[in-house]
């Protein structure tokens, strides 16, 4: 559990503007600190299943917020990932880049197919004109 002072310190460090307390960046930073604390707790108390469940819920919530931030503001997402040294963010960036590459390949193939169809149509039209 985060103390009030540590939470205020995190908010101050990651806020977007002066009165910011709930932006995705702040929420992700707070969740990250809670995850670190729960992880340390679970190393000492391996049988604490309710805390393990809480940890998994926090990890899932952070992942949802990271996806949202990545979709809304790629630059802020990358900056926050660097500051917090998040492994999951690196993985999300790699997945996004792979998806973009795949999309480019598909678009290129579609463009090639369209060009081939246009060439075939021109050839057929020329053959019809010759007859």
pTM above 0.75, yes or no: no
What pLDDT shows up at residue 5? 94
Please check whether the domain covering 1-85 is classified as CATH 1.10.287.10: yes
Q: What are the domain boundaries of the chain?
A: 1-85, 89-131
The CA distance from 126 to 124, in Å, is: 5
Per DSSP, the chain holds a count of helices (H) and strands (E) of 5, 0
At residue 4 the predicted structure's pLDDT band, cuts being 50, 70 and 90, is: very high
Does residue 96 register a pLDDT over 90?
no
User: What are the tens digits of pLDDT across the range 10-28?
Assistant: 999 999 888 888 899 999 9
């Amino acid at each position: 559990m985060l103390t009030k002072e540590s939470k205020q310190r995190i908010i101050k460090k990651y806020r977007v503007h002066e009165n910011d307390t709930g932006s995705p960046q702040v929420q992700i930073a707070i969740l990250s600190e809670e995850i670190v604390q729960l992880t340390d707790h679970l190393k000492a108390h391996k049988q604490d299943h309710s805390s393990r469940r809480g940890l998994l819920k926090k990890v899932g919530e952070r992942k949802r917020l990271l996806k949202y931030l990545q979709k809304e503001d790629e630059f802020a997402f990358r900056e926050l990932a660097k500051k917090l040294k998040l492994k999951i963010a690196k993985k999300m960036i790699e997945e996004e880049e792979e998806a973009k590459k795949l999309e480019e390949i598909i678009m290129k193939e579609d463009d090639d197919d369209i060009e081939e169809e246009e060439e075939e149509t021109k050839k057929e039209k020329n053959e019809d004109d010759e007859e």
